[in-house]
Amino acid sequence: METDATIDMLLAHKGSNIWSIGPRATVFEAIKMMADKNVGALLVSEGDKLIGIISERDYTRKVILKGKSSRETPVMDIISAKPVVVSPGDKVVDCMRLMTQKRVRHLPVLDANQKVVGVISIGDLVNWTISAQSAAIDQLQKYISGGEYPG
């Protein structure tokens, strides 16, 4: 794994499952889908068009704390519209910085035609970085101990 990797490399390794829901679905349906898919956010789409993202954070802050009913509230009422997005060629480290600055945990990945090609989470980025650093350390240890250096 490369320490200077791009998002397309991460998606090739992780896979690019995309879980989405329509804006007229209920928040309850969205939360159930998140639980079933073991994810913390869903893209909100109409056809092929990304219109927002709904996360567990949106649910807790915009439904539970406001006393709304998740079975009656439509997803559209609580989505984060205009989500922060990245492209496949963006660097992993830049995406980590962007997530920290914007205080988001999920980034839709859009290609040049604005088509969603994946979603990355902060956990995906951290796991990639840890694996890349471990591989680099292993290579350095082999080099120092007299083993062959792969570069």
Q: What is the pLDDT of residues 41-78, one digit of tens each?
A: 999 999 889 999 999 999 999 998 888 899 999 999 99
Q: In this structure, is residue 151 part of a structural domain?
A: no
Classify 105 as helix, strand or coil.
Answer: coil
User: Residue 11's CB: how many other CB atoms inside 10 A?
Assistant: 18
Kindly state whether residue 50 falls inside one of the protein's structural domains. Answer: yes
Query: How many domains does the chain contain in total?
Result: 1
Q: How confident is the model at residue 151 (pLDDT cuts 50, 70, 90)?
A: low
CATH label of the domain that carries residue 50: 3.10.580.10
Residue 68 in any domain: the answer is: yes
- What mean pLDDT comes out for the span 33-41? 95
Note the pLDDT of residue 65: 85
Domain of 21, in residue numbers: 7-144
Residue 66 forms part of a structural domain? yes
What's the chain's average pLDDT? Answer: 89
| pLDDT for the residue 34 | 96
Instruction: Give the per-residue pLDDT at 6.
Output: 93
Contacts of 31 (CB under 8 A, 6+ apart): 56, 59, 70
Q: How far apart are the first and last CA of the chain?
A: 13
**Residue 150, domain member (yes or no):** no
Tell me whether residue 99 is in a domain: yes
Cβ-contact 70, 40 below 8 angstroms: no
Whether the pLDDT of residue 1 is over 80: the answer is no
Q: Which residue has the tokens 């639980």?
A: 35
Question: What mean pLDDT do residues 103-130 have?
Answer: 93
Q: Does some domain include residue 1?
A: no
Q: Is residue 2 part of a domain?
A: no
| pLDDT at res. 41 | 95
